[in-house]
Amino acid sequence: MASPKTLLLNKAEEDLIHDKSVECLKEIGVRVDSEPVLELLEKRGASVFHESHIAKITEKMINEALEAAPKEIILHGRDPKNDLELPVSNYPYSAMNGCAIFIVDKDTGEYRDSTARDAADISKLTDGLDGIDIMWPAVSVTDMPPQTQALYELWITLENSSKHYQGDAVLGAHNAQAMIEMAALIVGGKQELKKRPIISMVACPLAPLSFEKGTIEAQVEFARAGVPIVSLSVSIGGLSAPITVAGMMLNSNAENLASLVITQAAAAGAPHIYGAESSPMNMRTGSFNYDAPEFGLIYCGMSQMARRYSLPSSTGDFSGPGVTGDRRETLPRAFSRCFASSSHTDIVTGLGAIDDAKGICFKQLLIDAYTWECCRKYFETIDITEEKLALDVIKQVGPRGAFLTHRHTFKKFRNELIWWDEEKYDLLTMKPDEQMEKAGELVNKILKEHQVTPLDEPIVRKGYEIIETYEQKYAE
C-alpha cells in the first residue's frame, strides 16, 4: 500500500539525535519538582540530586522504557464507533487545540472570555463534524472556579460528545484522581477504564528539560490508571531551546524520552504517545511563531523519531490565524501544514484555533473540519498491485487507443478517483465574507439538529457531585 509521507532525516541523522538525547539525559539530566517522582526514578536507577531536583537518566532506563511502552494504542470513544487505533494506517486523526481562553461569539462576533456554555456548544458541534476525531476541550471554562475548571471541561465534554476525550494534566495528583473517578463512572469502574480508556491526557514538560510538580504527579496517576499520556514538548527556539532547528528537535526528543521513562517507571506498559509542538520564537514579538517555516519541518523530524521508537505520535498541527478567524492560505503556511500532516504522525491538532491558539472560533472550527476532510483524502493508501497497474487493459487499448469507452474506466472510476463532498467543497471555495456567513448557518444547524449519544442521567448527576465534593475539599 502506497501513501504520501514526508521524510526530513536520514538514518544517520536520526541516530545522532537519539545518541545526543541519551547523552543529554545522562550528563545534564532533567529537573523534576516532585520528591515522590524523584524517588521513583531513583529506584529505577537514576542518579538523583535532591537539593537541586535533578535526575540523571541512564541509557538502560531509556531502553527499558522503550521496550515496555506499547507500540499500539486504542483511544476509545464513549461510543465504541468512535474508537481510534494508533498507529494510523493512512491519514492522521484530528483534534482541536486545548483550553483557549477566548472565543469568537457565534452570534455576535464578539471576541470574549470563554465559558462553560461555549464548552458544551463546541463539544456538540464537533461531535457532529466528521472532520474532528478527538475532543481536546477547545476552550477553558473561565466562569468556573479555577481549581475545578479541568473537571468541568472533562465532564461537560463527555456529556456533549461521544468521541474520545483528550485533556490536560496540570493541577496535581488529587485533580487527576478526580478525573479518573469521573471517567470510570461512564465505563463501569477503574478496571474497565484500564481496558477501555475513553480519556487521554496531555502532559507538557516545562522546557528546557524540566517537569513541574503538579503536571508530573498527575502524569504518574494517569499512567497507573491506564490513561494514555501525550507528552507534548513545547520547545521554543531562542527562548526555551537552542535557536537551531536541530537544537529544538534534540530538546524535544530528550524531553519525550524523559517523560516516557517517568510513565513507564510509574506503570510498566502504560500507554504513552510521543508529542511535540515546537517552533522558533518570533524574534519581533517574543511569542511562539506558528507561521515560522521551521514549524512544519520540526514536526516532520519529530514524527520520524517517534516512528524510530515505534511510539504513537501527536506531532502535527493546523496552526492558528489571527483574531478575525480569516485563514486565507499563504504559501509558507500551506507548505508547513503539508509537512506536519504528511510526516508519519498519528494525530494533528489545532483545528479552529485563532490568535496563536489563545482563542477559538466556531465558524473557523467548522471550516477547518471541512478542510481536513478534503486534505486527508490525499493521505489515503493506494494499492500498487498487478491488478491496479492494469497492464492487461493497456494491451487491449494499445498505442494511440482511447480508454474513455473501455469498460475498465466505467467500472473503476467512481472508486479509484478522489471525489469531494460538493457542499463542503463549495464552502471552502467561497469568498471570505460569504464563507463565514455560510459557516455560521451550518454551525447553528448542527447545534440545533445533531443528537449526541446521551449519558444516563444518574451518571451525569454523579459526575457533578464529584466536582462539587472536590471543590469543597480543595477550595483553598
Q: Which residue has the higher pLDDT, 21 or 354?
A: 21
Contact indicator for 98, 167 with CB cutoff of 8 Å? yes
Cell of residue 451, nine digits? 443528537
Q: Which residue has the higher pLDDT, 117 or 286?
A: 117
d(CA 473, CA 476) in angstroms, rounded, equals 8
Round the CA-based radius of gyration of the chain to a whole number and report it: 23
Contact indicator for 281, 290 with CB cutoff of 8 Å? no
pLDDT, position 320: 52
Write the single-letter amino acid at 466.
I
Rounded mean pLDDT of 15-42?
98
Task: Using a cut of 0.85, tell me whether the model's pTM lies above it.
Answer: yes
pLDDT, position 377: 85
- H/E stretch holding 43 reads helix 35-43
Determine the Cα angle at 179 with ends 68 and 69, to 5°: 5
pLDDT in tens, 140-164: 999 999 889 999 999 999 999 999 9
Q: In whole numbers, what is the pLDDT of the chain averaged over residues?
A: 92
For residue 265, pLDDT beyond 80:
yes
pLDDT, position 319: 61
Q: pLDDT band at 323, cuts 50/70/90?
A: very low
State the DSSP string of 310-376.
T--EEEEE-----TT---PPPHHHHHHHHHHHTSS-SEEEEETEETTTTEEEHHHHHHHHHHHHHHG
Distances (CA, A) of 282 to 101, 245, 288, 330, 356: 21, 14, 6, 18, 11
Rounded mean pLDDT of 333-343?
73
Q: What three-state secondary structure class fits 168?
A: strand
Q: What three-state secondary structure class fits 158?
A: helix
Q: pLDDT band at 324, cuts 50/70/90?
A: very low
pLDDT, position 325: 46
Rounded mean pLDDT of 85-96?
92
d(CA 326, CA 361) in angstroms, rounded, equals 10
Beta sheet of 30-32, edge-to-edge order: 47-49, 54-56, 30-32, 210-211
Contact indicator for 259, 231 with CB cutoff of 8 Å? yes
pLDDT, position 331: 66
pLDDT, position 354: 87
pLDDT, position 356: 78
pLDDT, position 36: 97
Percent of the chain with pLDDT over 70: 96
Domain 67-379 top-level CATH class? alpha beta
Sign of the alpha-carbon dihedral angle for 431, 435, 437, 441: positive
Nearest by Cα to 304 from 14, 2, 1: 14
Cα-based torsion angle of the residue sequence 375, 381, 384, 386 in order, rounded to the nearest 10 degrees? -110
Rounded mean pLDDT of 399-417?
93
Phi, psi of 348 (to 5 degrees): -110, 145
For residue 51, pLDDT beyond 80:
yes
How is residue 429 annotated by DSSP? Answer: T
For residue 62, pLDDT beyond 70:
yes
Q: How far out from the chain centre does Cα 18 lie?
A: 23
What residues does CATH 3.20.20.480 cover in the chain?
Answer: 67-379
Give me the residues paired with residue 211 across strands. Answer: 32
For residue 329, pLDDT beyond 60:
no
State the DSSP string of 266-320.
HSTT--EEEEE--EEB-TTT-SB-TT-THHHHHHHHHHHHHHHTT--EEEEE---
Q: Where do we find the cell 493512512? A: 90
Give me the residues paired with residue 340 across strands. Answer: none
